[in-house]
Amino acid sequence: MIELLIFRTGGVEIGRSSFVPGASEAKSFAPVWSALLRTPEGNILFDTGLHPVHIERPDATFGPGSLKVVMAKEDAIVARLASLGLRPDEIAVVVNSHLHFDHAGNNGAFPKATFVVQAEHLGFAKGKPNFPGVYWDIPELSYLPTSGRARVAPGVEVVPTPGHAPGHQSLVVDLAETGRVVLCGDAAFTRENLERGEIRAPDEPTAKESLALIRSLVKDDLDRVFTSHDAASWPRWKHAPDTYR
């Protein structure tokens, strides 16, 4: 029996126009989150969230005038896991959707874990300033480069959903009571992306194909997708310690 718990690791002040073409540029809070999967084969973490350096210095990563990070002490992922009774070394596997700083910011906190990332994405992100290596390109970490759909554990599968970045992946989880859910990563920032089939992305045609794939994975039941930075959907979801089963 797999249990899924979702928790906030901070947020960003951002205009909806960064997510949906033609939407408002007015900045508002958008959550950043990670998920814990408790499985019979061990604990799996999906994305590692924002690094706590941003609590004191919101512009620590990209400098003054950059994307504004909003982060409180309790958002630090190690604190979130501790509140669920877990230490970092009890995480067996980390799946990164991709290696942007709000999805891989605490990879360094999990030196005992195996990191599942698409090989294509690892190659793309390495050395690029907008994928700061300080958070993920760390010699002590074990990356398992994958190619295409791959089973992480029974009922847990990574599925490539590129467009936001080459080799971006989502996590598909088959839950006993809830059914199949998709943790989208930035393949879908908001439910609106999936409803409209439109999204801002470096490669928009490919990103639109990924939106269609996500919809097909849940047979168009958008209550079973967890989009990455979705202020409107967030209050409707269960948050840890509440659990999806």
Sites of contact with Zn ion (CB under 5 A): 102, 186, 228
CB nearer Zn ion, residue 49 or residue 155: 49
CB nearer Zn ion, residue 34 or residue 146: 34
Least Å distance, CB 127 to Zn ion, is 20
Least Å distance, CB 234 to Zn ion, is 14
Least Å distance, CB 96 to Zn ion, is 11
Least Å distance, CB 49 to Zn ion, is 10
CB nearer Zn ion, residue 2 or residue 201: 201
SS (H, E, C) the chain: CCEEEEEEEEEEEEEHHHCCCCCCCCEEEEEEEEEEEEECCEEEEECCCCCCHHHHCCCCCCCCCCCEEECCHHHCHHHHHHHCCCCHHHEEEEECCCCCCCCCCCHHHCCCCEEEEEHHHHHHHCCCCCCCHHHCCCCCCEEEEECCCEEEECCEEEEECCCCCCCCEEEEEEECCCEEEEEEECCCCCHHHHHHCCCCCCCHHHHHHHHHHHHHHCCCCHHHEEECCCCCCHHHCCCCCCCEC
CB nearer Zn ion, residue 54 or residue 175: 54
